[in-house]
Every structure is written in C-alpha cells, then in structure tokens.
Amino acid sequence: MRANNVFFGIRRSLSLTSSILSPGKILNKSNMNPNVVKMEFAVLGPVASRAGEIEKELANGVKKPFPNVIRANHGDAHAMGQKPITYIRQLVACVANPSLMETDKSIPSDVIQNAKAFLGNCGGRSAGAYTQSPGVEIVRKHIAEYITKRDGGIPANWEDVCISSGTSESIRNVLKLFINDKNRKKVGVMIPIPQYPLYSASLDEFGLGQVGYYLNESSNWSLDEAELERSLKESSEKYDVRVLCVINPGNPTGQVLSRENIETIVRFAEKNNLFIIADEVYQDNVYSRESKFHSFKKVVTEMGAPYDKMEIASFHSASKGFMGECGMRGGYVEFLNMDSEVYMFYKKMISAKLCSSVLGQAVVDALVNPPKKGQPSYELWKKEGDAILASLKERAELFEKAFSKLEGVSCTQVQGALYAYPSIKIPAKAVEKARSLNQEPDFFYAMQLLETTGICIVPGSGFGQKDGTYHFRSTILPPSDLFKEMLKRFTKFHNDFLAEYK
Ligand SMILES: Cc1ncc(COP(=O)(O)O)c(C=O)c1O
C-alpha cells in the first residue's frame, strides 16, 4: 500500500527506463538519483503550479470567469493575508539590525532585552555568524522551559533539543537516521493515510519503505489499533518496520487525538518496538471545545514504565499556531530517551550543514519565549495572537458546515490544525472522463474547479485515501470575506459539475 500511486494525480505513463536519454548532459533523468525522480509533493503539485500560471494570465489581462485565484491549497497563513505579530517582527528587526535598538524609540524594552540576550549568544554578537549546529544555546534553553511548562512541569533538557530551518528539516534528518543498506529488509516507516506528503516524499527520497495505516474517517480520523496491527502485519514480510509517525493535530485531516487514542498508539508502539515520530507542529491550533492537545512526551511519561523509556522525536514549528511565520523557517525537535551515541551521530550529521538560519532561530525564540504578563509587549502580543486563533476557530466551524451543505460532500469536524478534508462523491461519468484523461478523479475535479472558479485546493490523491473514496483538502486560511466568495464560486461549480456528469 502506498500513499501515492499517482504522480500528483496524473497516472504515471513513463517509466524511468523508458525515459529519453539527454545526450551531452553528464547528469540526466536516466542516470540521476532515481529516488528523486520518484518522490512526489502534492501540496505544490500541478494544481498549484497551474494556479500560479492563471494568476499571471489574469495579471496580463487574460479574461477569466473569475477575478482572482483563491489559494486554499497551502497552510501558509501570511500568503493568505495574515498580518505578522508585532513582537516577532520587532525582535527579528533588532536581531538583524542592532542599531535599531538605539535609534527606534518605539521598540519596547522587553524586545530590546530579548534581542540583546539572543545576540549575546551569537558569535561576534551578530546574526550573521554561524551558530552551534543544534542552535543558539539560549533558544534551546527557552524551548526546554516552554516544553516543561506545556507538559505541566515534566522536565525537558535543553541539550535534547535541536533547532532547524523549519521542522521539515528536522523530520527529514530524523528519518535519515533509519537508512541502513546493511539491513536484510528495507527499513519500513509507518505513516498515516491520509498523510502530509513530506513523509511519502522523504521516504521515497531516502529509499525507506512506506507502510501506510489508514485513519478512521468515521471516528473523525482517529487511529484504530486493529488497523495499526493489520498494516504492521501485512508489511512485515517486506520491511523491517522500526518507526511509527503520528501527526497530531492532523494534516490534512484536522483531527485532534484524544488522550485515550494516544495511549492506544503508545501501547502498540511499545509492544512492537517502534520509534515514535510525533509531528506536533499544530499543537497550538486546537479549536473544538471537546478537544485538547496532549503531547506524546507527557502521555508516555504519565503512563509510567515501560512507556516512559520509549524513544520519541517530537517536533514543533514557528510556521503554524497564530504566528504563521512559514517563510522564516524555524522549527525544532526534542528527543526523548534517544541513545546517546545515536544522538552524537545526529549532531555530527547536522553539523555538516553548519547551522540553521539565525533569523529563523530568533523566530523560534519568539515562539517559546513570548512576552510575559506585565512586560511592555505583552498586551499587544496577546491581543494579536488571540484574535488570530479566534478567527481560525470561527473559520474551522464555517468551513466544516459550508462544505457539508454541498450535495455529495461530507466533512468531519475540523478540531484543529489548518485544514478541512471533506470526502466527495464523484459521479461515475466524471470518474470515466478523468480516467480517459489518465487522471485521478479528484485531481480532475480539482483542476476543473481551478479553471472554472480560480479556487486552488489539493486533491485527496496527493495525501492518500481508501480506494474508491475521493477527498480534497482546503485550508481554513482564506479570510472570512474571501471565504464567502470562495463558497459562492465553489457551490455553483459543484452543482454544475454534478449536473454535467449526472
Ligand atoms: C504536519 C506537518 N509537519 C511538518 C510541517 C513542516 O513545517 P515547517 O517546515 O514549515 O516547520 C508541516 C507544514 O505544513 C506540516 O503540515
């Protein structure tokens, strides 16, 4: 089973061996790394690149039945118009240009204090210097304090934390540790289906085995123990399965796992000797009143022996939450119970890349060491952050309700993260039409939607789904006005599509 058996929704027709040689080029498709040819990343696939072309066409005056493209394909808040948090940008500005701390009297004293503390940990007191490979020491210490507070006092050690240029980098680095050609069987990594395609793409790139386990849509995309067992059992002939990846809150599925469900997952992983990759980048994006974020670290610690000795890598990011600072590239990994030698090798591996972006590290500092009550920046920071989270919560409800009203579409509750992942019944005639074009039906639907309305979503085939079911992922990021417009266009398209292919 694979999350993607298609190339961005288009069925593969060319094999590597049939690729045409490019004479004269030392490196060409037929002799380059085949894993790179194979890997796929649907979020930025052909629907998104066609959206970019349409934007250019519109700018050049090409007439379309819509005035603009609505990009609901990417969890990139600032790209959808979200404004940066003042504190973060003031901190980054001071770190990048320390003279501002002398000349700009509008910068609050706590920003100056934090920028100075950060620069005090940088070589030559400059953001232009390389830092230690795992990151600036004071930021790693702030991360440990943040995790300790988040988990109700369960201690975190700053030396177990490594900062990276975005969490994607840390996740890929951890996966790399499992590449082992000496293994008799390929190492297998269990990933959810649907999944965020960073996983399938990286596994393909690294030559690791993809072991998919289906999330249960009928119980709001939770994890079933029986399904985990099935997936492990069916793949164990082929793979030496050593890792279980869990995304909580979920992307693309928007669920928040209950504590009970996490305990089930933990017991399964312990019983089967699996290293847990806990992708917790949406930990601050929880909207449903009944849901609460529980970190894997807290759960295993509270479960006690033998679970508190399990090996876990947990990830967080400055790209999500209310900050949405995707372009700044800041994230981190915390290791729990990692073998000390392996950790030493991990640090050696990341040292080959020298260090992560220093301004990105400053943004991570803003994530984990925000203004405190009573400090001059606190009120504005709180007001701005709360307003974004309240608006995301409102949009989560709006999206789920609105999509569910469309004929043949149903949407589970958007409990967290930044996405709705509705299922859609595509009429048989449309399925036939898509197949005749060598396309996946949901890709066909998404492309038609884009060409007719300018709305850019990601077809479910990019994330993986049960055979015969179709889905799409929309972010909840379009602001309310744009969302209303999006819904108007979407509804008309959808009804026309159903009528055409009835
Ligand atoms: C589940 C999940 N993990 C990791 C990432 C990577 O985030 P970044 O590299 O921007 O920190 C994303 C980004 O969308 C994501 O959705």
> Residue 166: which of 25, 28, 280, 325 has the closest Cα?
325
Q: How far apart are CA 495 and CA 407, in angstroms?
A: 8
> Hey, which of 200, 284, 320 would you mutate to test ligand 1's pocket, going by the most ligand atoms within 8 Å of its Cβ?
320
Whether the CB-CB separation of 284 and 267 falls below 8 Å is answered with: no
DSSP labels, 191-233 = EEES--THHHHHHHHHTPEEEEEE-BGGGTTB--HHHHHHHHH
> Residue 141: which of 179, 107, 114 has the closest Cα?
114
Residues within 6 Å of ligand 1 by CB: 75, 166-168, 196, 198, 247, 251, 279, 281, 317, 319, 326, 331
Distance 314 CA to ligand 1 centre (A): 13
**Strand, coil or helix: 244:** strand
- Per-residue pLDDT, 303: 98
Q: How far apart are CA 88 and CA 359, in angstroms?
A: 11
Q: How far apart are CA 497 and CA 492, in angstroms?
A: 8
Domains, the chain, ordered by start? 45-74+384-500 (3.90.1150.10), 86-121+372-382 (no CATH), 131-368 (3.40.640.10)
Tell whether the model's pLDDT for residue 13 goes beyond 60.
no
Ligand 1 atom 13: residue of nearest CA: 75
481 band by pLDDT with thresholds 50, 70 and 90: confident
Share of the chain above pLDDT 70, in %: 95
Q: Determine the Cα angle at 161 with ends 156 and 166, to 5°.
A: 130
Tell whether the model's pLDDT for residue 2 goes beyond 90.
no
- Per-residue pLDDT, 87: 98
Tell whether the model's pLDDT for residue 16 goes beyond 70.
no
Q: Within 13 Å and on the Cβ side, how many CA atoms surround 174? A: 31
Share of the chain above pLDDT 90, in %: 83
- Per-residue pLDDT, 22: 62
- Per-residue pLDDT, 8: 52
Helices assigned H by DSSP within 104-208:
109-120, 137-150, 167-176, 198-206
- The residues, ordered by sequence, that sit 6+ positions from 391 with a Cβ below 8 Å of its Cβ are 479, 480
Ligand 1 atom 14: residue of nearest CA: 75
Q: How far apart are CA 114 and CA 269, in angstroms?
A: 40
- Per-residue pLDDT, 51: 95
Helices (H) and strands (E) in the chain, counts: 17, 14
Q: Tell me which DSSP letter residue 271 carries.
A: H
> Residue 452: which of 51, 13, 29 has the closest Cα?
51
Average pLDDT, whole number, for the chain? 92
> Residue 139: which of 380, 370, 455 has the closest Cα?
370
Region at 408 (left for phi over 0; alpha for psi -120 to 50; beta for the rest) = left
- Per-residue pLDDT, 464: 85
DSSP labels, 324-355 = --GGG--EEEEEES--HHHHHHHHHHHHTT--
DSSP labels, 369-381 = SPPPTTSTTHHHH
> Hey, which of 221, 279, 281, 323 would you mutate to test ligand 1's pocket, going by the most ligand atoms within 8 Å of its Cβ?
281
Mean of pLDDT values over 236-251: 96
Tell whether the model's pLDDT for residue 377 goes beyond 80.
yes
Ligand 1 atom 6: residue of nearest CA: 168
Ligand 1 atom 1: residue of nearest CA: 251
76 Cα nearest atom in ligand 1: 14
Mean of pLDDT values over 54-77: 94
- Per-residue pLDDT, 344: 97
- The residues, ordered by sequence, that sit 6+ positions from 179 with a Cβ below 8 Å of its Cβ are 187, 206, 207, 208
Distance 463 CA to ligand 1 centre (A): 14
423 band by pLDDT with thresholds 50, 70 and 90: very high
Distance 274 CA to ligand 1 centre (A): 22
Q: How far apart are CA 168 and CA 201, in angstroms?
A: 11
Region at 413 (left for phi over 0; alpha for psi -120 to 50; beta for the rest) = beta
Tell whether the model's pLDDT for residue 17 goes beyond 60.
no
Amino acid at 81: G
Helices assigned H by DSSP within 207-325:
225-235, 259-271, 296-303
In 3-state terms, the chain is what percent helix, strand and coil (to 5)? 45, 15, 40
> Hey, which of 167, 277, 368, 477 would you mutate to test ligand 1's pocket, going by the most ligand atoms within 8 Å of its Cβ?
167
Q: How far apart are CA 474 and CA 71, in angstroms?
A: 9
What are the φ and ψ backbone dihedral angles of 477, each rounded to 5 degrees?
-85, -25
Q: Long-range contacts made by residues 199-203, C-beta under 8 angstroms, separation at least 24? A: 199/3, 199/171, 199/245, 200/2, 200/3, 200/4, 200/39, 200/40, 200/464, 201/39, 201/40, 201/41, 202/39, 202/171, 202/172, 202/175, 203/175
Q: Tell me which DSSP letter residue 241 carries.
A: E
> Hey, which of 43, 74, 76, 168 would you mutate to test ligand 1's pocket, going by the most ligand atoms within 8 Å of its Cβ?
168
Tell me the whole-structure pTM to 2 decimals. Answer: 0.91
Whether the CB-CB separation of 69 and 241 falls below 8 Å is answered with: no
Q: How far apart are CA 401 and CA 480, in angstroms?
A: 14
11 band by pLDDT with thresholds 50, 70 and 90: low
Name the residue with tokens 């990341």: 350
196 Cα nearest atom in ligand 1: 1
Distance 79 CA to ligand 1 centre (A): 15
**105-144 confidence digits (pLDDT tens):** 999 999 999 999 999 999 999 999 999 999 999 999 999 9
Regarding beta strands 70-71 and 455-456, do their DSSP bridges make them parallel or antiparallel, or are they unpaired?
parallel
Length of the chain: 502
Sign of the dihedral through C-alpha 329, 335, 341, 342: negative
